[in-house]
Amino acid sequence: MTVTPTPAPVGTSTVLALRGVSKRFGAVQALKNIELDVRAGEVLALVGDNGAGKSTLVKTIAGVYTADDGTMTFDGKDVRVGSPAEAQQLGIATVFQDLALCDNLDVVANLYLGRELRKGKVLDEVEMERSSWELLRQLSAKIPSVRIPVASLSGGQRQTVAIARSLLGQPKVVMLDEPTAALGVAQTAEVLNLVERLRERGLAVILISHNMADVMAVADRVAVLRLGRNNGVFTVSETKTQDIIAAITGATDNAVSERAARRTREEGTAS
């Protein structure tokens, strides 16, 4: 089955565009001719099965890997990203799955780690604490106190801190690598709210997730990767979950969609 990508809604500006990006690891073609457009003020979900190349693509955009081929356009200019620091300077922030927080430091110290505000040579704790609260309030983040060690926060709160930290550099694109993977129901909702708030701020959000419910709940568009290639871009409001799953797995007659179809039939007969 072939999937026809739905035309993108007009009127939003493209922040980040990839054209023909390829990446090889030895004999493995991890990415092949990837095309991707990310627009300001939208959440683009990046989905695909294990080994589809999601992480490779994210790391390529984040500057961890350099692409073998293809071009990347950021804000209308061709760019080459050689290191994570360069990506951050451009305005591409990434929150990796392990969050990279220092458990022994408090929230303020973690938010400003590596870019502490100073008065002369001395840390300006007061200003850091004040602007931490300002930032967390803007995100409506529920952190009880910024002076407790990060270790005492829940998984969702830690995710919030990591996302808030990525915003301190005033990025235009934020990539979230499976932000809800280890979270409970309420915390997942908290993080999804946060993702929506990033979109309200006009940021482009790239959301990597295996959870189709989350994707359908928060994403505007879904880009599907399959075996290192593009396998369609869908507008969420006009697409059924099954179509996306079909694009992920590469077929309609597979175990997942059969189960889903059977469930729907059973529910239909039961009611």
Partner 1 sequence: MTLHGSETRPQDTPRPAGNGNGAAAELPADLQDERLIASHGIGGAVSAFTARLRSGDLGSVPVVVGLVIIWAVFQIANSSFLSSRNLVNLTLQTTSVGVIAIGIVLVLLLGEIDLSVGSVSGLSAAVLGVTFVNQDWPLALSLLAGVALGLVIGLFYGALYTRFGVPSFVITLAGLLGFLGLQLLVLGKEGSLNLPFDSALVGFATRSFLSPALAYGLVAVVVAVYVLTRLRGRGARVAAGLSAAPNSVIAVKAGALAVVLLVPVIILNGDRGVSSMFLLFLGLVVATDFAIRRTRWGRSVVAVGGNVEAARRAGINVRMIYLSVFAACSTFAAVGGLLAAARLVAVNQSSGGADTNLNAIAAAVIGGTSLFGGRGSAYSALLGALVIMSISNGLALLSLDSSVRYMVTAGVLLIAVTIDSLSRRSRQAHGRA
- Contact set with partner 1 (CB under 8 A): 84-85, 96, 98, 100-105, 109, 113-116, 118, 121-123, 126-127, 129-130, 133-134, 137-140, 142-149, 151-153, 197, 200-201
Shortest gap between Cβ of 137 and partner 1 (angstroms)? 5
Closest to partner 1 by CB, 69 vs 125, is 125
What b/e sequence results for 160-180 when a residue is b if at least 16 CB atoms lie within 10 Å of its CB, and e otherwise? bbbbbbbbeeebbbbbbbbbb
Residue 251 is encoded by which pair of tokens?
Answer: 């077929």
* Residue at token pair 């695909």: 48
Smallest distance, Å, CB 261 to partner 1? 39
> For partner 1, which is the closer residue by CB, 47 or 153?
153
- Closest to partner 1 by CB, 142 or 263: 142
Q: Which of 192, 238, 234 is nearest to 213 (CA)?
A: 192
**C-alpha dihedral sign at 134, 138, 139, 140:** positive
Rank residues 71 and 145 by Cβ distance to partner 1 and give the closer one. Answer: 145
Helices 155-167 and 185-200: crossing angle in degrees, nearest 10, is 20
Minimal distance, residue 111 CB to partner 1, in Å: 10
What does each C-alpha distance from 32 to 18, 43, 48, 63, 233 come to in angstroms? 12, 23, 14, 18, 16
**Beta strand pairing call for 221-226 and 43-47:** parallel
Sign of CA pseudo-dihedral 247, 250, 251, 254: negative
Nearest approach, Cβ of 169 to partner 1 (angstroms)?
A: 10
Residue 239 CB, nearest distance to partner 1 (Å)?
28
Tokens, residue 110: 């973690």
**By the 8 A CB rule, do 95 and 166 touch?**
yes
Cβ closer to partner 1: 96 or 234? 96
Least Å distance, CB 153 to partner 1, is 8
79 or 139, CB closer to partner 1? 139
> Is the Cβ of residue 64 or residue 79 nearer to partner 1 in the bound state?
64
Rg (CA), the chain: 20
Q: How far is the CB of 247 from partner 1 (least distance, A)?
A: 33
50, 166, 239 from 174: Cα distances, Å? 22, 8, 24
